[in-house]
Amino acid sequence: MDNKIKKISILRYFPEVDEEPHFESYEVPFSHETSVLDALNYIRDNVDPSLSYRSSCRMAVCGSCAIMVNHVPKLACKTFIREYDKSHVLTLEPLENFPIERDLVTDISDMIAKLESVEPHIHPQKDAPSNQAGIQTPRELEKYRQFAQCTHCGCCYAACPQYKLHPDFIGPAALTLLYRYNHDSRDKDKSIRKAIMGQEIGVWRCTSVGYCSDVCPKCVDPASAIQIEKEENAFDYVKHFFKKLKRS
């Protein structure tokens, strides 16, 4: 099939010289198999070598190429130009809700810090031998497998209206990671994560819009994890209340 031509408008920003981001347009040849990442590579290699963006695996595994495609958070490697045949211009911008570093590259350090804050590792039994592997049944694995597929691409943060309004919100990816480890049968100390979950900036900051799940390229469904965590946190609160009432 002969290549077609797609006009692509990209938000450009050079912090050394630009006061504000601005759009620049390019014409890119494409076929049925051309992804948005392929188009970016074409522009960088053949038109403008100064174009900056992140990419790595090209297989929707690393999550590094997440950008806004026609104002929707997507992975550039998993999104194809053919999907936008009816759009006269394809608009590419950096992920929303993150500071722009340069062109399509954003500073995601806040999200990374929040992922690290939820203790994303196994807390084994204190008396368990250090060289003893955790034993887990397939049924126990299934309790959290879906929520372990997150690649930390940042699409859910770009889609989250609460993160935009309240940057202190832990956010969907971090709360999903919290759920993943709190439901891992090998973890023996969930108290730290439960305390984080119930904070004002935890699950109750979420207003259940659900857009985070809509844009997730791995179908992790962070909105579902957060709703389950709300139920668990409410149950823990009621249980604690009645225990306190009984003691008094």
The model's confidence at residue 1, banded by pLDDT at 50, 70 and 90, is very low
Looking at the domain that runs over 4-106, which CATH code has it been given?
3.10.20.30
Give the tens place of pLDDT for each residue, 109-119. Answer: 999 999 999 99
With a pLDDT cut of 70, the percent of the chain lying above it is: 93
Which of helix, strand or coil describes residue 36? helix
Cβ–Cβ < 8 Å for 217, 204: no
Number of H helices, E strands in the chain: 9, 7
When pLDDT is averaged across residues 60-86 and rounded to a whole number, the result is 96
Candidates 173, 194, 175, 185; CA nearest to 237 is 194
Strands of the chain (E only): list them: 4-12, 22-30, 66-69, 72-75, 89-93, 100-102, 105-106
Range list for CATH 1.10.1060.10 in the chain: 109-247
Assigned architecture for domain 109-247: Orthogonal Bundle (1.10)
Give the tens place of pLDDT for each residue, 158-203. Answer: 999 999 999 999 999 999 999 999 999 999 888 889 899 989 999 9
Residue 139 in this model has a pLDDT that exceeds 90: yes
Range list for CATH 3.10.20.30 in the chain: 4-106
- Between β-strands 100-102 and 89-93, what pairing exists: parallel, antiparallel or unpaired? unpaired
